[in-house]
Amino acid sequence: MSTISFEAPRGMRDFYPEDMVWRNRIFDAWRDAAEHFGFQNYDACVVESLELLQRKSGEEVSEQIYAFEDKSGRKLALRPEMTPTLARMVAAKQKRLPFPIKWYTMAQCFRYERMTRGRKREHDQWNMDIIGSQEVLCEAEILGAAVYAMRAMGMPDEAWRIHVSSRALLGELLAVSGIAEAQHPAVFIALDKRGKISDEEIAALLCSEGLDDGAIEKTFRLLNVTSLEEATALAGENSPAIQNLKALFTIAESMGYAHLLMFDIAVIRGLSYYTGIVFEAFDAQRKFRAIFGGGRYDSLLALVGGQPTPAVGMGFGDVVVGEVLREILGEDAPIAREGYCIGYMTAAERSAAVCLATRLRTEKNRVDLSLVAQKPKHFFGKAGNSNARFAIFLGPDDVASGKVQVKDLQTRESQEINL
């Protein structure tokens, strides 16, 4: 029979056990952080209706959707992000849910796009959303949980920063500059492309949206605002957007992560539905793409046909953070040794080994029981390369005496136990 490719489909990832060590480090930190901050877990199928995804998604994403028809001709797709699904699920039970709700999920998402470094066609994304409250404490809680997760993964505080801005503030500043509100959405989309395309191309985009040269110049000048003080001078002390940002920085102080926040007017976020504070986290060197991002999107539910409801959300993919962690901690970041390996010399000792394994497992220990009889040298070689903390090898003498040595693979010490 002819062989077929052993590769995963293009852009899709395989995770061998050695890869899972990294992935589980990330997933465990996500889950742990969300649970510690009192978020409730939800999930949905990776397949969604194409109509829902097209309704909600930004223009760029819509072209990148993996769409297909099922055998009844239903138009389906692999979701590119979780937010449309969240909006649908919340809208379906909007009258019964105990708002404000704090929900999280870890979801595989797909985008068909050209393959470049760090860009796969699928990734896993941690989403946290708080729906039903306008309090800036929502933003603070979501950022607090993200900080908790980063620390749980072993990321040092000095290695990264959360860049914070506000769509509402930028809107106020554009208004002060005399740019009509109707043009703001197009300006946001154009400015978000900064760094990806040249400033000349952005200027051309703004021009095609009807901004004259003076308005374009004023727009670029706004991007030179480098501090919240400067922004305050332009927008005024009474600006709701400024007061909101300052309140966030104050709560972050109480929560112990204000030193991780920096005001950055260049943070826009690509999707059109953000309405208030927006944020993106980057490694301090800015070598990698954004680690996570999100913000307030008070108009999302109305977009899918639900009741207008204030909301804040965050998306945190597994690819970029994995690259940053490997860069900072090294490929061989240590793994905690845990549990037992049990081996045996001949088939005659196997039954005693099975009984010992069963006893240790009943006591809630992790036990890797050898499937085949083997020489001690071979067994201890494999045990040393495993993640086990303790190794036990049963020879005929051990079974006869009813006692066996437990070797601690970390300290190299041994201790005798009864069989």
- Is there a contact between 266 and 223 (Cβ–Cβ < 8 Å)? yes
Cα separation of 277 and 296, whole Å?
6
Closest approach of its own copies to the CB of residue 119, in Å: 15
Cα separation of 404 and 343, whole Å?
12
β-strand pairing of 367-369 with 390-394: unpaired
Phi, psi of 49 (to 5 degrees): -75, 140
Nearer to its own copies, 4 or 400 (CB): 4
Cα separation of 198 and 280, whole Å?
21
Nearer to its own copies, 9 or 330 (CB): 9
Closest approach of its own copies to the CB of residue 91, in Å: 5
Closest approach of its own copies to the CB of residue 335, in Å: 12
Closest approach of its own copies to the CB of residue 417, in Å: 18
- Is there a contact between 167 and 185 (Cβ–Cβ < 8 Å)? no
- Is there a contact between 242 and 236 (Cβ–Cβ < 8 Å)? yes
Cα separation of 271 and 185, whole Å?
10
For residue 300, the one-letter residue type is L
Closest approach of its own copies to the CB of residue 34, in Å: 10
Nearer to its own copies, 23 or 218 (CB): 23
Cα separation of 237 and 92, whole Å?
41
Nearest to 98, CA basis, from 67, 131, 50, 136: 131
Closest approach of its own copies to the CB of residue 297, in Å: 16
Closest approach of its own copies to the CB of residue 183, in Å: 21
Closest approach of its own copies to the CB of residue 148, in Å: 7
Cβ neighbours around 41 below 10 Å, total:
11
Nearer to its own copies, 52 or 207 (CB): 52
Cα separation of 383 and 387, whole Å?
8
Nearer to its own copies, 372 or 417 (CB): 372
Nearer to its own copies, 177 or 365 (CB): 365
Instruction: Name every residue whose Cβ is closer than 8 Å to that of residue 76 and which is 6 or more positions away in sequence.
Output: 47, 48, 49, 50, 67, 68, 69, 70
Nearer to its own copies, 289 or 382 (CB): 382
Structure tokens at 368: 């890797």
Nearer to its own copies, 130 or 345 (CB): 130
Cβ neighbours around 64 below 10 Å, total:
14
